[in-house]
Amino acid sequence: MKTVYLETFGCQMNELDSELVRGHLESLGYSFTTETDDADVLLFNTCSVREHAESKAYSRVGIVGKRKKAGEKLILGVLGCMAERDGVDMLRRYPQIDLLCGPGELDKLPMLIDNVVRTAALEHPMAADIEDRVALAGNTSRRSAALSASADDLETLDLARAFDPDRATSGVRSAYVRITRGCNKFCTYCVVPYTRGAEVHRPPDSIVEECRRLAASGVIEVTLLGQTVNHYRYTHGMAVTLDGREQPQIGPGLSAFRNETVDDPNLTTFAKLLARIHDEVPELSRIRFLTSYPKDFGHDVLEVMASRPRICRYLHVPVQSGSNRILKLMNRGYTVEEYLEFTDRVLEVLPDATIAGDIIVGFPTETDEDFELTKDLLRRVPYKNNFIFKYSPRPGTTAINRFEDDVPLDVKKLRNNQLLALQAEIGAAVHAEWVGREVDVLVERITNRSPISDAAPSAADPRISLGAALAPAKGPRDHPSSLAVQISGRTPGDLITVLNVPTRDRAEQLLGTIVRVRIEGSGPLILHGRMVDLDATVPDKLRH
Ligand code: SAH
Ligand code: SF4
Ligand code: F3S
């Protein structure tokens, strides 16, 4: 049987897709390896959001391509957003690529691999087999308003998710759960609506059931995923199969968020979905969600969060720019004033909430004045962190057609660096406020064997650079030598926390558990603390 190497680029959505693909292929008898040399099927699950993301994937594809040219019998597949964006053109430019599979077609991947294997077995493989090796949505999903059951085979991939009973012992006790696919926002710079297609909401029963099954297999933290999670809404009684199961549903127009009656019993809003998961799956210690859209974030969601302690008070709510003129060109649909009204309201209802965001610098026509406004906004909101990106023109988007990429690269770099420095100050102040308090930390990894080792831990969020995550924390570093092993995890507010424990055994025991930590020091992106009950012998795996 075939051995597969699967590498993932891009966002959490892609990480989840890769997990589902892996489960699907394993159920068909494929095995997986982390070494490219041991694999005969090499798959890259790719991201198109910025040019840099694409070049990274192309260089990986290029290396495998060379091995194939040199005569190695390998199957090379490109999955995900790049496949969807570039389409069959990619196969013409890179004939070493055997198969392409868009993010909306991943359920068809085993069939594509089979087709490639069969074609390779032929003595004279025909060039005309391209459609057998390619599964792309071609954005067809946007053409029909109602989603037919047959058009949504992808749902089967989410539904068929493997529930790994080893999770409870392996330390992997956190899982992503998709609630919405695609995006209807069409921010002018962004490829996602083109690569992931129209917004489609999964039926609430399927989502709650998935959470329940994950909890039963040992998961204690779920992160609900969608490009704009707060746009989640499901109208019941519209799309039901013969056996009475509800089907995924295309998102409504944005007017749906105006003047709607959220107490309509036929409507599951995001707030109601959160409440259902919290109330119906009590085994989950942490319920989180990504990414929130600043507009249309109803007060109902904040109220559900305030009344339900296991919903994490953490919002990733990207602003993108602090200039109303730029926000308009980006088609974000809100003003700086509206954004600030929202973040103020969040902190009023949930004073402990942490807020993170994304910023794009160097969007076309961005002036020094626009950039100053972005800095002002950063100073105004207590962001725990911000992901800062240099604008990258993406083929197919409105921005690339409508605006010249007129901010020079060195200006983009300068603005990027200035914002990083400013965010480091803001992040340091936000983190410093936690010093002296006790927090619950979900332990995720052993970051080194001893405090003097150089071994770098990996950050909880792949988008956080390791260097930044481990910026020296202020506070006591003089651990007694008995606390030789460093572990790290996250608070409910997603603050990365490191602490030391005496032995590697102890560290391993604690993986995947929630421990009480007293915070003693902090840095721009990190908290540093000490376990409150270091001597407790048996970690309480089910502690909430
Ligand atoms: N749905 C999320 C974001 C998904 S893309 C949201 O709307 O908040 C993740 C981030 O990548 C975006 O928030 C944006 O900051 C950045 N991004 C997207 N397209 C980009 C582009 N063309 N150039 C630079 N950054 C971009
Ligand atoms: Fe892209 Fe905007 Fe959709 Fe986010 S909301 S995925 S930035 S189009
Ligand atoms: Fe990238 Fe696609 Fe995610 S473009 S950010 S992998 S949705």
**pLDDT band at 211; cut points 50, 70, 90:** very high
State the Cα–Cα distance between residues 17 and 413, nearest whole angstrom: 32
Mean pLDDT, the chain, as a whole number?
A: 87
User: What separation in Å is there between the alpha carbon of 326 and the centre of ligand 2?
Assistant: 15
- pLDDT confidence band for 143 (50 / 70 / 90): very low
**Residue whose C-alpha is closest to residue 47's, from 81, 85, 83:** 81
Q: How confident is residue 147, by pLDDT bands cut at 50, 70 and 90? A: very low
> 387 CB less than 6 Å from ligand 2?
no
Q: Which runs of E-coded beta strand occur in 362-482?
A: 383-390, 438-448
351 in helix, strand or coil? coil
Closest ligand 2 atom to Cα of 190? 1
Pocket test of ligand 3: the residue of 12, 13, 229 to mutate, having most ligand atoms within 8 Å of its CB, is: 13
Are the CB atoms for 78 and 46 separated by under 8 Å?
yes
What is residue 326's predicted lDDT score, i.e. its pLDDT? Answer: 98
Q: Summarize pLDDT for 157-175 with one digit per residue, the tens.
A: 888 888 887 777 777 799 9
In this predicted structure, the answer to whether residue 13 has a pLDDT above a threshold of 50 is yes
More confidently predicted of 252 and 348: 348
- Residue 228 alpha carbon, nearest atom of ligand 1: 1
Specify the pairing of strand 200-201 against strand 180-181. Answer: antiparallel
* Beta strand segments in 347-460, E: 354-361, 383-390, 438-448
pLDDT at 544 over 60: no
pLDDT digits (tens, 9 = 90+) for 67-79: 999 999 999 999 9
Q: Which residue among 180, 185, 189, 392 has the greatest number of ligand 2 atoms within 8 angstroms of its CB, and so is best to mutate?
A: 185
Å from CA of 120 to ligand 2 middle: 40
Return the pLDDT at 148.
46
Looking at domain 3-136, its CATH class is: alpha beta
Q: Which ligand number lies closest to the CA of residue 80?
A: 3
Between CA 59 and CA 505 the distance in angstroms is: 39
- Measured from the Cα of 82, ligand 3's closest atom is 4
> For the structural domain made of 149-312, what CATH number should be given?
3.30.750.210
- pLDDT per position as a tens digit, 127-141: 547 888 899 987 444
pLDDT, tens only, 456-497 = 344 334 343 434 444 444 444 444 556 789 999 999 999 999
Measured distance CA(245)–CA(230) in Å, rounded: 24
Residue whose CA is at the smallest distance from ligand 3 atom 7: 192
Collapsed DSSP state (helix, strand, coil) of residue 362:
coil
Nearest to 508 by CA among 190, 222, 169: 169
Q: Give dist(CA 251, CA 183) in Å, integer.
A: 9
Q: What is the pTM of this model?
A: 0.90
Question: Residue 157's pLDDT is what?
Answer: 83
pLDDT over threshold 50, residue 523: yes
Name the residue ranges covered by the structural domains of the chain.
3-136, 149-312, 438-542
CA of 117 to the centre of ligand 2 (A): 37
